[in-house]
Amino acid sequence: MIRLFLRVWLVVFIPMLFLLFSNSYNPVRMLNQWADSDYLKTTFGGAFYLLEQDLAQWPQSQWPLHFSQIADKFGRDIRLVTETDMGDEWRSLPTDGYRIIEESGSAAIVKRIGSTPWLVVLMFDESEQRKVMRQAQGPLNLILARFQALPPTQWSRELDALAPHFDFPLQLIDPQQLSAADNKLLSIDQQSQFERQGRVWHASDEGSFLFLKLSMPTEVAADHDQPMPYQVLMAGPIPQQSVHHLWIVGMMIAIFVGGISLCMLIFVAPLWRDLKRLTRTAAFFGEGALSQRATLGRWSAITPLAQSFNQMADQIEKMIQGQRELTNAVAHDLRTPLARLDFAFEMLQSCELDAVERARYEQSVASSLEALDHLIQQLLILSRYRRMVDLVHFHSVDLTSSLRVELNQLQMAHPDLLFEWVVAHDVVDRLIFVDPKAMLRAFNNLAENAVRYAASTVRIRLASSDTHYCLSIEDDGIGIPDVMKPQVFEPFRQLNNEARSLLSTESNRGNQTKTHGLGLAIVKQIAEWHGGEVTLEDSHLGGACFTLRWPIRHP
């Protein structure tokens, strides 16, 4: 069960992980890149055009400085880099070409400025720095207002009073510490940004820090011998929202995966139990316990499979049982002609036989061989129609005309009987999709059975309904008792009905064809060969009525 569960788990989650995590073959990522490319052309095309026009007014050597002033007011994270900074693969970016990249977990647009080596990188999503700056805007303005209302001598005491109300440290530092050689806190670009904006965000291994400029009145700075007319408020390390966000996302993913895994386990456990039960039943059945059947719950996922197995087992058991009965019956029917042959050959070896007796024993040999040949032919026919249906033998034929030809031969062979031929108008001249040889053989077997026991009349009727064809043959004999009707279609079953035997003998029609009780069994197999059935009822004429019914098919 564990292996089955792992296989299902991998089948479910590997494609999901493939779609969730970014890679160059991710179809979701490829679709997003296509949509983003179309989006940037319609949304940021004008912005890039204005940037190029503005930069064109300056020498390329001054672009970084001028661009930093533009970036401060752009509203999105944007920077100017060279293709060397991005890597050698960016040299292939065409003039005025666009490209979407993943940077720091966010999507960004990269565009070349004309034919220069300079590239503009515009972030789609808001960076963590800008998020913190935006979220800290209100508290920073309040802090600035609070400190500006106090003399610088009270700033330290005010800072001590504010510190307990914040989740991160607050401290005043000397501006020179920002650029001190031994302990430089900010890079040159960050220092430039700090001088321009009065605040800057700095991320380091220790965490994220926010530096805020607290301006001092000029006279106060002169009185305190301050080299710079301001002090720096350093806030940090500031806890970032992304940590909590990742924790929440991780928990949600864990809950989702755990829930799906539990549901899969709930599904796989009963499935595995039922599969083991079905496997055990199949093993017992294969060892010869033909009565074994799969018993599963109504709501089991493999109930249709179990039902198919049971149907197969029923057919196999029925087939094997039929083969056993057929083998026993064949052995019984072979015993009599073989015994006659043995006796006849033994007598023919005697020198005391006269010509008449020798001729009689030779006739016995010929009769026994003929009986054996007929038995073998009947067995071969029965065996053929017990196989799987082969549509190669099926054709669209005028069955009415074929049956009429067979009926004419019966009328010539039995002039003492009246044959009634009734055909529905919608069947006349219709092409019917059947196995012609099999259908004519079934007709002849039923007709010969009716002829053998009819007193004076045999009625043959061919009709059709919306879904089936129907061929019925009935006679005016004495019929078949109800208790014997279920047995007439069994192989080698000859009814012990003295009245029927007497009628057959008196009419001199019973000895024209040697029978072994296979005729009606063959009819039954032919009916099933066509997907139909054969039934036995009492005839209105007084005898038996056999009805062969099969579904309408089209080639």
Whose CA is closest to 108, among 130, 90, 123, 127? 123
Least confident of 170-174, 377-381, 437-441, 483-487: 377-381
Q: At what angle do helices 303-348 and 241-286 cross, to 10 degrees?
A: 20
Q: How many helices (H) and strands (E) does the chain have?
A: 17, 15
Q: What is the mean pLDDT of residues 494-508?
A: 52
Q: At what angle do helices 27-43 and 45-55 cross, to 10 degrees?
A: 60
In terms of residues, how long is the chain? 555
Note if the pTM is more than 0.85. Answer: no
- Alpha-carbon distance of 453 to 519, in angstroms, equals 14
pLDDT number for residue 242: 52
pLDDT number for residue 511: 45
* Contacts (Cβ under 8 Å, ≥6 apart) of 116: 60
Q: How many angstroms separate the most distant Cα atoms in the chain?
A: 164
Answer yes or no: are the C-beta atoms of 302 and 275 closer than 8 Å.
yes
Whose CA is closest to 426, among 390, 400, 388? 400
User: What is the DSSP annotation of 316-363?
Assistant: HHHHHHHHHHHHHHHHHHHHHHHHHHHHHHHHHT-TT--HHHHHHHHH
Answer yes or no: are the C-beta atoms of 176 and 194 closer than 8 Å.
no
Helix (H, G, I), strand (E, B) or coil at 74: coil
Q: How far is CA 82 from the centre of its chain?
A: 52
Count CB atoms within 10 A of the CB of residue 109.
Answer: 24
Q: What is the mean pLDDT of residues 365-371?
A: 79
Answer yes or no: are the C-beta atoms of 172 and 143 closer than 8 Å.
no
pLDDT number for residue 1: 56
Higher-scoring residue by pLDDT: 103, 540: 540
pLDDT number for residue 75: 65
Read off the amino acid at residue 259.
G
Domains and CATH numbers, the chain: 1-149 (no CATH), 168-217+227-241 (no CATH), 390-551 (3.30.565.10)
pLDDT number for residue 400: 92
Model confidence at 534, in pLDDT bands (50, 70, 90)? very high
- Alpha-carbon distance of 167 to 383, in angstroms, equals 92
